[in-house]
């Protein structure tokens, strides 16, 4: 039972223990050879992400963001460099961080409830117990009434919610989100951003968030890493420094607009010459 306690929302100020889980990416590179030609998708990335921070990665397509995530999650082997979690080397080891891909990847033959508990099932938690734990989470975070539906009965936004709850139930301190709202329409996207902030506030996970959307990056994050076009290198690290909790008025804030201008200029430089 003890290890499940981590999964419950940590309310700040209620004497929660400061678990330090610092994620470090040390000099990670990834080279490919294709048709005799050497390609570099990620070049000497160095990142240090403090516990509980919301960090976004922004950059043009093909900047190696997905490569970076695959390396951090242990699904891909870097050509050089290391990934450290709390100082422990987790390079090439999967299962240390939660990872949500762009597609929701819900299993169509399982109900939403049975989809979100799959991480617990793999860990050997009996189905009945896993369901008991998942049910209140689904209900609290906007999937009430859909628990026993199959994924194809849900809208894109709802499916992404289920996907994220599945990742949360897997209960790792660090969560990687690869453009989770990329396929949603603008209205749903706004809703989902607020929803994500609420969840992040309740759970206080370290979040690494890939996006193409500058507004989204500023609105959600504490820090933003800007990546260059191929080969993907870290071009800049920006501290957002906007006060929380954030709402729609944040997007009209002077600081917000100034950051947006800076980021637009940086990304413009990275755009391929037409």
Partner 1 sequence: MAGQKEEDSRGPLIEDQGADAARMRRRAFAGQIIAGILIIFLWEFLTRIGWLDSYYWSSPLTIVRTGWTAITKGTLLQDLAYTSGTTIIGFILGTLAGSVIGLSFWWSGLYAKIAEPYLIAFNAVPKLALAPVLVIMFGIGFNSKVMLAFLMTVVVAAIAAHSGVKNIDRDLEKMLISLGAKRRHVFMKVVVPASMPWMVGILKINISLALAGTIVGEFISSRQGIGRMILYAGQVLNMDLVWVGVVSLSVLSIVMYLGTVWLERRLMRGRNPKS
Q: Which residues bind partner 1 (CB under 8 A)?
A: 73-75, 94-95, 97-99, 101, 103, 105, 107-109, 118-119, 121-123, 150, 152-153, 166-167, 170
Looking at beta carbons only, is 97 or 197 nearer to partner 1? 97
Q: Are 221 and 54 in contact (CB under 8 A)?
A: yes
Question: Which of 146, 170 has the CB closer to partner 1?
Answer: 170
> DSSP string spanning 65-99?
HHHHHHHHTTSS--SEEEEEETTEE-TT--SSSEE
Q: In the complex, what is the shortest distance from the CB of residue 102 to partner 1, in angstroms, rounded to a whole number? A: 9
Q: What angle do CA 259, 213, 228 make, to 5 degrees?
A: 75
**C-beta closer to partner 1: residue 15 or 124:** 124
Residue that is written with structure tokens 């897997």 in the block: 170
Say if CB 85 and CB 100 are below 8 A apart.
no
Question: Closest distance between partner 1 and the C-beta of residue 77, in Å?
Answer: 14
Between 118 and 251, whose beta carbon lies closer to partner 1?
118
Task: Pick the closer one to partner 1 by CB: 162 or 197.
Answer: 162
Q: Which is nearer to partner 1, 152 or 248 (CB)?
A: 152
Q: How far is the CB of 158 from partner 1 (least distance, A)?
A: 15
Nearest CB to partner 1, comparing residues 152 and 254: 152
Rounded to the nearest whole angstrom, what is the least distance from the CB of residue 114 to partner 1 in the complex?
9
Could you check whether the bond before residue 126 is cis, i.e. omega within 30 degrees of 0?
no
For 94-150, the DSSP string reads -SSSEEE-SS----TTS-HHHHHTHHHHHHT--HHHHHHHHHHHHHHTT-TT-TTS-
CB atoms within 10 A of CB 5: 9
- At closest approach, how far in Å is the CB of 76 from partner 1? 10
Helix H or strand E segment including 209: strand 206-211
Residue 126 CB, nearest approach to partner 1 (Å): 15
In angstroms, what is the minimal distance from the CB of 38 to partner 1?
25
Rounded to 5°, angle at Cα 170 from 168 and 174: 65
Q: For partner 1, give the closer residue by CB, 118 or 190.
A: 118
Place of tokens 């799959």: 118
Q: Nearest approach, Cβ of 122 to partner 1 (angstroms)?
A: 5
Cα–Cα distance measured from residue 127 to residue 104, given in angstroms and rounded to the nearest whole number: 22
Pairwise CA distance, residues 86 & 125, whole Å: 26
């Amino acid at each position: 039972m003890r290890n499940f306690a981590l999964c419950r929302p940590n309310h700040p100020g209620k004497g929660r223990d400061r678990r330090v889980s610092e994620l470090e990416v040390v000099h990670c590179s990834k080279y490919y050879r294709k048709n005799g030609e050497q390609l570099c998708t990620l070049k000497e990335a160095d990142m240090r992400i403090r516990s509980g921070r919301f960090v976004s990665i922004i950059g043009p397509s093909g900047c190696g963001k997905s490569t970076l995530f695959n390396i951090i999650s242990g699904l891909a082997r870097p050509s050089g460099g290391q990934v450290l979690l709390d100082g422990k080397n987790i390079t090439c080891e999967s299962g240390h961080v939660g990872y949500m891909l762009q597609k929701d990847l819900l299993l169509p033959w399982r109900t939403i409830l049975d989809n979100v508990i799959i991480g617990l099932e793999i860990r050997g938690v009996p189905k009945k117990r896993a369901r008991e734990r998942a049910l209140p989470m689904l209900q609290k975070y906007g999937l009430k009434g859909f628990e026993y539906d199959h994924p194809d009965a849900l809208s894109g936004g709802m499916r992404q919610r289920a996907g994220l709850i599945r990742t949360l139930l897997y209960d790792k301190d660090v969560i990687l989100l690869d453009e989770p709202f990329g396929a949603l329409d603008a209205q749903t996207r706004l809703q989902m951003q607020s929803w994500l902030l609420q969840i992040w506030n309740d759970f206080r996970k370290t979040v690494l968030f890939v996006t193409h959307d500058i507004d989204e990056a500023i609105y959600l994050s504490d820090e933003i890493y800007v990546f260059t076009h191929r080969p993907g290198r870290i071009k800049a690290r920006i501290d957002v420094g906007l006060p929380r909790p954030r709402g729609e008025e944040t997007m009209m804030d002077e600081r917000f607009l100034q950051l947006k201008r800076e980021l637009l200029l940086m990304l413009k430089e990275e755009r391929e010459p037409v």
